[in-house]
Structure 1
Amino acid sequence: MKDTSHHDERIAKMSFASVYPHYVSRLERNGRTVEELHQVIEWLTGYTTKQLQEIIDNKVNFETFFKNATLNPNANLIKGVICGYRIEDITNKTTRECRYLDKLVDELAKGRKMDKILRQPK
């Protein structure tokens, strides 16, 4: 795999607040809601809607966002390709966790059922 250290550093320093509106607009264009987005984020990170608003207001970067999160134990079940990278092959922890979130938002936008997105047993 090629060296992605500059890419990893850029992702780590990017603020969650700068990406959040893009998540919202993509989902709303595809008939999904902010509430569903928050449900997905809470499942992955443990952050409540109130905590997310504080993160946005304080312009917390992704490195801190994931460092302070309580990652769902089933997050490792999130697999596949997102942004041209296979999630399972990403070695940088923060970048992999960001791609987990990107993948969940992508699945939500594509109309996948919530129980599948949240990796719920049948």
Structure 2
Amino acid sequence: MTKHRIFSVSVASVHPLYVAKAEKKGRTRAEVDAILRWLTGYSQQALDDQLAKATSFEDFFAQAPAMNPARSLVTGVVCGVRVENIEEGTMREIRILDKLVDELAKGKAMDRILRRPPAA
């Protein structure tokens, strides 16, 4: 089975598109980076290093320090495909990231995007 082309695309080449999508709706790069850190467990410095190295999506997720177990709570449709039904692991992680950035651009609160209870 051949790998999907997106696996070899660098996260650094798509990151500006995520940021542009968020900024167009009044959100920030910091919020996009917070989503990436929440999902993967990278620190901001490690995330910046991955972007600087132009790491592929496949390696970015494979090298992630701690994939967030709450990512399984991310459901819905992105690019016409239901996220929770995607069987291939790397593709599911990419689509979860897409879905989280979509939610950010739609104005959803960060606590809801990051699937955590609101602070008391």
Is 1:60 aligned to residue 55 of structure 2? yes
1:35-54: CA deviations, max 9, x gaps? 11111111111112211211
Percent of aligned positions that are identical: 48
- Select the residue among 100, 110, 113 that pairs with 2:109: 113
For the residues of structure 2 that align with 1:20 and 1:49, how far apart are their CA atoms?
14
Q: What CA deviation, in whole Å up to 9, does each residue of 1:42-99 have, x standing for no partner?
A: 1111112211211111110011000011110101000000011111111110000000
> Secondary structure at the residue paired with 1:74?
helix
For 1:85 and 1:14, how far apart are their aligned partners in 2? 20
Q: Residues of 2 paired with 1:48 and 1:101: CA distance? A: 17
Q: Secondary structure at the match of 1:47?
A: coil
Q: Distance in 2 between matches of 1:34 and 1:22?
A: 10
What is the RMSD computed on CA atoms of the aligned residues?
Answer: 1.3
- Structure 2 match to 1:21: 16
Cα offset for 1:117? 0.4
Q: Give 1:46's aligned residue.
A: 41
| Structure 2: runs of 5 or more not aligned | none
- Deviation above 4 Å: which 4+ runs of structure 1? none
Matched with 2:70 is 74
Q: How does 1:90-101 map to 2 (within 5 A)?
A: 90-101=86-97
For 1:37, the aligned partner's letter is V
Q: What SS class does the counterpart of residue 25 from structure 1 fall into?
A: helix
Name the TM-score, length of structure 1 as normaliser. Answer: 0.90
Take 1:39 and 1:120, find their aligned partners in 2: how far apart are those partners? 13
CA distance in 2, matches of 1:83, 1:55: 25
Aligned residue pairs: how many? 117
Q: Could you say what secondary structure the match of 1:11 adopts?
A: helix
- TM-score normalised by length of structure 2: 0.92
